[in-house]
Amino acid sequence: MTATTDGSAGAVGPRAAEAGRTTDTPSAPGELRGAAARAAQRSTEHLLARQDAAGWWKGDLETNVTMDAEDLLLRQFLGIRDEETTRATALFIRGEQREDGTWATFYGGPGELSTTVEAYVALRLAGDRPEDPHMARAAAWIREHGGIAAARVFTRIWLALFGWWRWDDLPEVPPELILLPSWFPLNIYDFGCWARQTIVPLSVVSAKRPVRPAPFPLTELHTDPARPVPPARPAPPASWDGVFQRLDKALHVYHRVAPRRLRRAAMNTAARWIVERQESDGCWGGIQPPAVYSLIALHLLGYDLEHPVMRAGLESLDRFAVWREDGARMIEACQSPVWDTCLATIALADAGLAPDHPALVRAVDWMLDEEIVKKGDWAVRRPGLAPGGWAFEFHNDNYPDIDDTAEVILALRRVKHPDPAKVDAAVARAARWTLGMQSRNGAWGAFDADNTSPFPNRLPFCDFGEVIDPPSADVTAHVVEVLGYEGQAQHPRARRGIDWLLAEQDADGGWFGRWGVNYLYGTASVVPALTAAGLPVTHPALRRAVAWLESVQNDDGGWGEDLRSYKERSWIGRGVSTASQTGWALIALLAAGERDSEAVERGVAWLTETQRADGTWDEPYFTGTGFPWDFSINYHLYRLVFPLTALGRYLNGEPEPAGLPARAPGSARAGRPGADAGPAHAGEG
């Protein structure tokens, strides 16, 4: 069955009539509560069964086939590509191809040129022939959309490694970049951590300009094979784009005349920087793109494949592989155990699992062991700040993030742990670190403070997505929510965060979602934060948010938002109903005191009616965000933890963390509009 992708109101989720659904169809409030309780119980049992013996949860993290294609290209470059890996990877890539011959970056999305080019090349490595129908369709579509010349820079860099594109026709990334001091414009710490970890090794690759023998030509992917590089269109000289075009031309000249001693010193510094940031599991930052470029760069600098750094790095990439029942092999761009574990803990606790349940205690023990107590790159901007907090992945001590840290604190406070002093100490360290990471504007980014330089995004080679880490509403909201629960809602830093959130509300009533799709995620993050911080549910900002959520509810009772909302305002709040996004909308409405509203009852009914018999929900749609629009994620656990959280709060009310005293009866979470909600916050207006 082909999924509906027009985002029209009233569309239902895919395979809604598929066998395996529950049969609950509640029609009265009492029946609805009973159906919700049964659905929550099924989800709780399923989630408990998925916990690892060590205490963590992790769902698959699905992105797009460039991860798989680049894994094969890396192995081809290093001379280690084997038949079994190639066969399994090709099986997965073929399975993701659309009928028009293209590959998309998210389920139901449009064909994307660079993704299609990389997938095509990977299948050529696997032995698929240009004349095969599926390959011919892909090549024709690529030519129709500008050919290789129109692909992103990173795609053309991969092709340049095999002589399919000229290095001279790529933007220059000089390794001397790493020698710039942290106060100098365009130093590496002006980039977001994910971009920084990629650009440093890429600068070595760009300086070395390696070319391995191409196993076949790719002339069929050029619009004009005799002239594969069309003339560049110069930007207006007075524009920033014009400035950076001239800078790139100057860097190409510099590549030919760079002093050898300076270049050698830069590459040696880059190598040390890369090696120092390799994690204990062999990866870099816990994400795949920096790992593949780091391996190539180190190999070019003389590290052979048996070197411990290289061997550990290659082994780490194997751990990113997900082998499916049909024999296909999918590469995860990243792994999310800390994020999944804290969200699962919150969901189970809010669904009514005893706060001292062994599963929750095991989860807390594991999260406590994952606490980061060493300084990382964030200390460049905050050198005097003591470490604390959590990262996203199994191993990533260099890059803890504020979002995970906030949610872990909320999870820890849900659990009655046998050693509360240990929990309190970890929370105190994390809260101190989080407060210290506030940016100058009063909000919080994900990994760094004040990572807002306007220049990195303008560089010609930065066309692969967001390369800076400015503050966002969802991360800021999670921090404010923690401060509310920790009794620090009146802390000056918390008040600045609240005021920033109120100023960031969209005219329609929602908030932009940087790390989830999109206004549904942002709004679901902000509303519970504002109420936890003491804003009454009668606050105008909360009433506007409720009105917006009610206005975008689908006719079937669920909520959905397509990734195209990042590019087109007409898509905001529009999309096929999904379990995770319906959970988000319900979480926001319940926090705003709407428990008995028609919108909440319809949303809860949708969840109960679409739940599978095993306690999960179908959700092929991508509701997670890496880079808005450019890199999208399907977190396979989202379809379980967020609906369960919403059902739990519908049944049990808003959470009161087990690790803290209960809030006063007059708090913002005490009831619907009109209830005694306590004093208004100073920012109310």
Q: Within 10 Å of residue 511's Cβ, how many Cβ atoms?
A: 29
- How far apart are alpha carbons 544 and 25 in whole angstroms? 31
Pairing of strands 61-62, 624-627: unpaired
**Are residues 506 and 645 in contact, defined by beta-carbon separation less than 8 angstroms?**
no
**Are residues 375 and 351 in contact, defined by beta-carbon separation less than 8 angstroms?**
no
Spatial CB neighbours of 300, under 8 Å, sequence gap ≥ 6: 204, 205, 208, 210
Among residues 403, 474, 562, 618, which one is catalytic? Answer: 403
Q: How distant, in Å, are the alpha carbons of 173, 279, 451, 582 from that of 192?
A: 16, 18, 7, 31
- How far apart are alpha carbons 621 and 639 in whole angstroms? 10
- How far apart are alpha carbons 363 and 384 in whole angstroms? 31
**Are residues 88 and 329 in contact, defined by beta-carbon separation less than 8 angstroms?**
yes
Residue 229: what are its φ and ψ, rounded to 5°? Answer: -105, 105
Considering only the C-alpha atoms of the chain, give the largest distance between any 2 of them, rounded to a whole number of Å: 79
CA nearest neighbour of 202 among 189, 188, 217? 188
Q: What b/e sequence results for 124-139 when a residue is b if at least 16 CB atoms lie within 10 Å of its CB, and e otherwise?
A: bbbebebeeeebebbb
Structure tokens, 175? 């390794």
Beta bridge partners of 635: 61
- How far apart are alpha carbons 89 and 668 in whole angstroms? 52
Q: Is 508 a catalytic residue?
A: no
- How far apart are alpha carbons 675 and 477 in whole angstroms? 24
Structure tokens, 658? 């087990």
Spatial CB neighbours of 290, under 8 Å, sequence gap ≥ 6: 194, 197, 198, 201, 284
CA nearest neighbour of 484 among 657, 676, 684? 657
Q: What is the DSSP string of 335-356?
A: --HHHHHHHHHHHHHHTT--TT
Structure tokens, 86? 């190639």
Q: How distant, in Å, are the alpha carbons of 77, 194, 335, 605 from that of 468?
A: 30, 9, 21, 40
471 burial (CB, 10 Å; 0-12 / 13-18 / 19+) is buried
Structure tokens, 680? 């208004």
Beta bridge partners of 451: 469
Helix residue ranges, H only, 60-180 = 66-78, 83-95, 113-125, 133-144, 153-160
Spatial CB neighbours of 676, under 8 Å, sequence gap ≥ 6: 666, 670
The residues that are catalytic are 403
